[in-house]
């Protein structure tokens, strides 16, 4: 799969690789990366599934994919994934996987239809003190100094952020902003986390910035738990 500025290459079916019938694939770990690689090998490389081997030490596949019903301990959720429009590889894969519940539809189809009919929007972005509304009024409330701190972090060289925490580069004034409240609660960041990780996340999550105040722009609605769905 090649991604360009258009869909000319993206929708073309790859040629079957020479000698793929004699080859085998060994994938270490049963997480999403290996499972997706296996699916692409079947679809794009036209490799027979019997020649794909996934090595996983845990009892269940899925890696860090969350939302699993365990009859012995209950429903286990370590944290959800904020699916959004720019997960190109995932949506590309989902368009090839048939839905379990909707006839003649792909997983991408059912995902898109559900989120089109019921778009994600939070009427109360965050609560504090065990139930009190944060009352953010859908504002970032970044002071000029806090905004400059964020911009400085954005333009800092990666090497200058090695072994530094977010506390090392951002101040209490930034932490008082609604932007940090949105960012922290949506992407599970803590002040002791890597400053480099946050810096690298800023452009990656840029498409979601406008919707941070109400969790708009994410496609969180799913018919099944993420473990079962993905």
Domain spans of the chain? 127-211
More confident residue, 220 or 87: 87
Q: Which residues on neighbouring strands pair with residue 157, listed in sequence order?
A: none
Q: What percent of the chain has pLDDT over 90?
A: 39
Give the model's confidence band at 32: pLDDT under 50 very low, under 70 low, under 90 confident, else very high: confident
Contact 61, 35 (CB under 8 A): yes
Please state, in angstroms and rounded to a whole number, the distance separating the CA atoms of residues 104 and 95: 12
Over residues 8-18, the pLDDT tens digits come to 777 788 899 99
Q: Which residues of 106-116 are buried (b: 16+ CB within 10 A; e: fewer)?
A: bbbebbbeebe
Residue 4, pLDDT above cutoff 70: no
Please state, in angstroms and rounded to a whole number, the distance separating the CA atoms of residues 222 and 230: 10
Q: Whole-number mean pLDDT of the chain?
A: 84
More confident residue, 188 or 36: 36
Residue 143, pLDDT above cutoff 90: yes
Q: Which residues on neighbouring strands pair with residue 132, listed in sequence order?
A: 128
CA–chain centroid gap for 179, Å, is 20
Residue 122, pLDDT above cutoff 90: no
């Amino acid at each position: 799969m090649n991604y360009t500025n258009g869909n000319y290459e993206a929708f073309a079916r790859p040629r079957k690789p020479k000698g793929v019938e004699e080859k085998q694939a060994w994938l270490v770990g049963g997480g999403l990366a290996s499972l997706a690689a296996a699916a692409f090998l079947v679809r794009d490389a036209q490799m027979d599934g019997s020649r794909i081997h996934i090595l996983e030490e845990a009892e269940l596949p899925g890696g860090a994919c969350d939302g699993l019903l365990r009859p012995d301990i209950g429903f286990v959720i370590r944290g959800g994934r904020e699916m959004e429009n720019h997960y190109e590889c995932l949506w590309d894969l989902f368009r090839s996987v048939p839905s379990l519940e909707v006839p003649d539809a792909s997983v991408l189809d059912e995902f898109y239809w559900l989120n089109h009919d019921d778009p994600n929007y939070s009427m109360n972005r965050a609560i504090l003190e065990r139930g009190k509304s944060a009352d953010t009024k859908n504002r970032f409330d970044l002071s000029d100094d806090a905004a400059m701190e964020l911009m400085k972090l954005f333009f800092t060289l990666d090497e200058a952020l090695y072994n530094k925490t977010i506390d090392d580069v951002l101040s209490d004034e930034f932490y008082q902003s609604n932007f940090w409240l949105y960012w922290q609660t949506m992407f599970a960041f803590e002040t002791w986390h890597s400053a480099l990780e946050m810096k690298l996340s800023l452009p990656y999550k840029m498409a979601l910035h406008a919707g941070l105040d109400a969790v708009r722009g994410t496609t969180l609605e799913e018919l099944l738990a993420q473990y079962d769905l993905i």
